[in-house]
Amino acid sequence: MSEPLTLALPKGRLFEQVRELFASRGMKFDVDGRKLTSLDESGTLRVILVKNADLPTYVHHGIAGLGVCGDDVVYESGHEFTHLLSLKFGGTSMALAARRDHVRDEAPGHLTIATKFTRFTRDYFQGLGIPVKIIRLDGSVELAPVLGLAPYIVDLVETGSTLKANGLEVLETLKTIGVNLFANTAYYKLRFQEIGRLVDILKN
Amino acid sequence: MNEAQLYKLPQGAERLVLDDAFRRQVLTHRVQNLFTSWGYQPVQTPVFDYYELYAPFLGTHAETVYRLVDREGDLLVLRSDITLFLARSMGVVLAPGHNPLRVCYADTILRHEDIEGISADEFYQIGAEFIGSDPDSDVEILLLLDEVLAQLGLDARVHLGSRALFDAAFEALSPAERKAMLKAISLRRWDDVGRLAPLFAVQGGPSELSAALSSVPVSAQVKTEALSLIQTYRSLEEAGAAGRFRLDLSEVGRHDYYTGLVFQAYQSGLGDALASGGRYDKLLARFGLESPSVGFSLHLGKVEHLVDLGSVPKPSGAEKATGSTLAERLANARKLRAAGRSVTL
């Protein structure tokens, strides 16, 4: 039997859904709070649990061969991976939001935006030819317009309830964000047969 | 003196000392000896050259090269890609209608990489190129790469693709669309590739590629290129050396100067290809010489730690010569050194 495939999974909102998906296909694994790696019961996968934002780094360096996380995280990392499968859960969108009562008072063609997604925001608005000033925040981004740090934010919006609770509204949806299973490109080349079988199992 | 600068290295600089430097030297010699035995002659390219000459070929590397201004005010670029610098050198040295020339090199390159790149191990390249017309040159370069990998004791796999096939399939696309398509194919995002996806998804041997060819309608030119790739593989088989090779049309080449065969070598435990290469028939013409060319380069730094040096006597483990006088010790050392040992006086 060959070595199990290594799969990095993000701690947090996606983990349970990914675990259920694999469990429903006969690959049960158990990773609790302290144990960060686990071999699934069928011996197909070695699962490594890492912080969401670090996941692309582990896969890029081949420490984990496979990974699951959102497009947003991969984009921010700047790394590129071999695409394997789009998962049907965890979808969300990247949106530009502001206070419901906001009045556009900045000079035309200029935006100040607070966001955790600095790379995406810069590339998106540069692509439109709109100069932006970006203020990097690590969380609770919706506070920025409320407290007056920046009139606009770019953030992931699922239901919009957090925005609503803070008196904000979506001005524009910028991109649909999906969750994907992907592989380090070199790892894929060496183990494409096993990875192909895994993808087939997950697809059906 | 600035104390802080003394202890750090600029991002992208590489320092190799003592045992690590010795290891590189030994491996370089081994590969160079192999090149010599195959009739490949060494070439040393300049460390810097005029930026303007290379600008059109840098593509996405343009942001990563180091530029400087010389005393006459000309913009220079530090060597960032040996294939390019070699093409420029040979373009000047060779005359039209020259005989096929086999050259090899081992040199450092300089490129800025951001922190995530941690690519200090990519800055030393060793490689070979076949310049000139010869129907067997693609196969020769692959066979040579195969021997280099074997010499280093690696069980790397080499995936073969074709930029010519890609060009034939997507000649109608605009430059921006082509770029997006190259990326979609190399990252295997088949939803973005369209009806030819089953062809580019092929990985395996000639039978897999033949099957894919008959499953999707393709132009005569695409078919010709696919058959040529199959022929290359068959030649490797006939030479009894197809073991580590696979056909993989998602290999489309990392550089836009490729015009035919492209390939990359992968080794278990490495997150990226350790060697890459291909055919570039139009590159030398841009530097004044109409001549086809094919070659590869290998990032020796990436694999050094995987290679077993065997029983090479390291200078760091040198023994001390015996004797009560310098003359005696010298005589003793000479005897031991003649037997291949490393000895200090």
Residue A39: in which H helix or E strand, if any? strand A37-39
Write the pLDDT tens digit of every residue in B9-44: 776 677 888 999 999 999 999 999 999 999 999 999
Structural domain boundaries enclosing B42: 8-156+267-312
- Measured from the Cβ of residue B303, the count of other Cβ atoms closer than 10 Å reads 22
CATH code for the domain of A137? 3.40.190.10
Does residue A189 belong to the interface with chain B, where contact is any CB pair within 8 Å? yes
Buried/exposed code over B195-231 (b: 16+ C-beta within 10 A; e: otherwise): ebbebbbbbebbeebeebbeeeebeeebeebbeebbe
B300 and B220 part of one domain: no
B284 and B250 part of one domain: no
Distance CA B345, CA B328 (A): 10
Residue contact B187–A81, C-beta within 8 A: yes
Write the pLDDT tens digit of every residue in A18-37: 999 999 999 988 877 677 78
pLDDT above 90 as % of chain B: 78
Contact B291, B98 (CB under 8 A): yes
Write the pLDDT tens digit of every residue in A34-93: 777 888 888 889 999 999 999 999 999 999 999 999 999 999 999 999 999 999 999 999
A53 and A74 part of one domain: yes
Q: Which among A61, A80, A84 has CB closest to B271?
A: A61
Task: List residues bridging with B127 in a β-sheet.
Answer: B105, B297
A79 and A101 part of one domain: no
Hey, what are B226's tokens? 């696919």
Burial class (CB within 10 angstroms; exposed 0-12, middle 13-18, buried 19+) of B286: middle
Among chain A residues, CA nearest to B119: A61
Residue contact B157–A78, C-beta within 8 A: no
B56 and B116 part of one domain: yes
What is the number of domains present in chain A? Answer: 2
Distance CA B154, CA B258 (A): 26
Alpha helices in B94-194 (DSSP H): 137-151, 163-169, 175-186
Residue contact A80–B183, C-beta within 8 A: yes
- For residue B140, what pLDDT is reported? 98
Residue B121 pLDDT greater than 70, yes or no: no
Residue contact A190–B273, C-beta within 8 A: no
Task: List residues bridging with A114 in a β-sheet.
Answer: A135, A153
Residue contact B157–A84, C-beta within 8 A: no
Taking contacts as CB-CB distances below 8 angstroms, the residues of chain A near B183 are 80
Model-level pTM greater than 0.90?
A: yes
Structural domain boundaries enclosing A120: 92-175
B324 and B306 part of one domain: no
Residue contact A83–B186, C-beta within 8 A: no
Does residue A197 belong to the interface with chain B, where contact is any CB pair within 8 Å? no
Predicted complex ipTM: 0.89
A168 and A193 part of one domain: no
Residues of B numbered 174-193 whose beta carbons fall under 8 angstroms of chain A's beta carbons: which are they?
183, 186-190
Write the pLDDT tens digit of every residue in B180-200: 999 999 999 999 999 999 999
Hey, what are B5's tokens? 């600068």
Distance CA B163, CA B245 (A): 17
